[in-house]
Structure 1
């Protein structure tokens, strides 16, 4: 009975050792691999490496799960694999936090330096303005000035105004002529209409005389035939 119990304990130990040996080899994620960040460039490199190795940890855990599900002690195997993943991710997260903190601190430091430099320049400008003597007030000359002498522009405007006056006078004179022409045209048109009416009347009279003469000659000819 004692021998059987001892044999079972040895079997469990051997099986446990086999499970651990079957797990994929984990990379060394110890803190020694991630020295404290000292520059922005180093912080950027660290963040890229953390991203790559975090993906590698997840891949290794997936492979460990696959191996564990093929073993007898599945839960124990999965627990060991999860613990390895947890420790690795914790180390990576610590390195990531350190790099991000350094970048934020560097940004704040640069911004503070820019603000300080701007404040220094503003103070220098104010000091320079204060050191300059005050400007003398501008004297306004209220002496009346003679009217400006007509220049080329004024002469050109005067000539243009004179030309407009002449055109207006010509238009007024032409307006009277145009009215007279209209009256003459209407009078000539009326005379033409009277002449046309007179010609038509005379033509009608001549035609009537010719018709009467022809009729008289015809009657005369008929009377001669009857005799």
Structure 2
């Protein structure tokens, strides 16, 4: 009776030991020596590697999510999750190394192109300076430079001058006619204004004369109807 419990305990201990041993073996398999990525040799290859890194990162996260679901169905959940995290970490480290190497290559390429452009510009400037030093431009006579070159008036220029003169004359005649019309209109308005003023003055005089006549008649009637004077 006592041997059966002992056998069961021994079997359980052996099972646990075997499980721990397998877990240790699996952990040792996960920890692998990281090898540096192969060097990038072209800008196109660097761009392709960066795009591949982005895609692989998404795939790593998807595999890790699937592994988490599987781990929750296992007996040793925590150990399974730890292993999944370690696999994810190692894969991301590898992709990060590829990304750093490709990015550094592109950065060095841009620096080299910039340095090349600066060197070419410096070389062109030095070549131009040497050319000017070997072949200096001719020195002009100050007196000759001060005098303006003789100007010739071709036939076309004379025709344009005549056309401008004709246009100016036509414009002057038009302006003179407009000024004369404006003067005539002003004189007509002034004449009508004077006539209106005379008419107004005549009417005012008539009203004043009528008013004086009415006042005289009223005064006469008032004197005739009043009391007779005493001696």
Q: Smaller-chain TM-score range? A: 0.5 to 0.7
The gaps in structure 1 that reach 5 residues or longer are 21-25, 176-227
Give how far 1:155 is off.
6.7
User: How does the TM-score come out when normalised to structure 1?
Assistant: 0.55
Maintained 8 Å contact 1:43/1:100: yes
**Aligned twin of 1:102:** 105
Q: Distance in 2 between matches of 1:131 and 1:103?
A: 42
- The count of residues paired between Structure 1 and Structure 2 equals 163
Q: Distance in 2 between matches of 1:154 and 1:79?
A: 98
**Aligned twin of 1:6:** 10
After superposition, residues 10-159 of structure 1 pair within 5 angstroms as 10-13=14-17, 31=35, 34-138=37-141, 139-140=144-145, 157=165
Give how far 1:78 is off.
0.4
Q: Distance in 2 between matches of 1:154 and 1:49?
A: 76
RMSD: 4.3
Q: Aligned in 2, Cα 1:141/1:93: closer, same or farther, shift over 3 Å?
A: closer
Q: Distance in 2 between matches of 1:116 and 1:81?
A: 53
**Aligned twin of 1:187:** none
**Aligned twin of 2:199:** none
Greater than 6 Å deviation, 4+ residue runs: 16-20, 153-156
Q: Distance in 2 between matches of 1:4 and 1:65?
A: 33
Q: Distance in 2 between matches of 1:104 and 1:155?
A: 70
Deviations 1:122-151 (A, max 9, x none): 1111111121134222314769x9xx9xx6
**Aligned twin of 1:205:** none
**Which of these two proteins has the greater Rg computed from alpha carbons?**
1
The gaps in structure 2 that reach 5 residues or longer are 25-29, 184-231
User: How does the TM-score come out when normalised to structure 2?
Assistant: 0.55
Give how far 1:3 is off.
3.9
Q: Distance in 1 between matches of 2:70 and 2:56?
A: 21
Give how far 1:2 is off.
5.8
Q: Aligned in 2, Cα 1:54/1:141: closer, same or farther, shift over 3 Å?
A: closer
Give how far 1:31 is off.
3.4
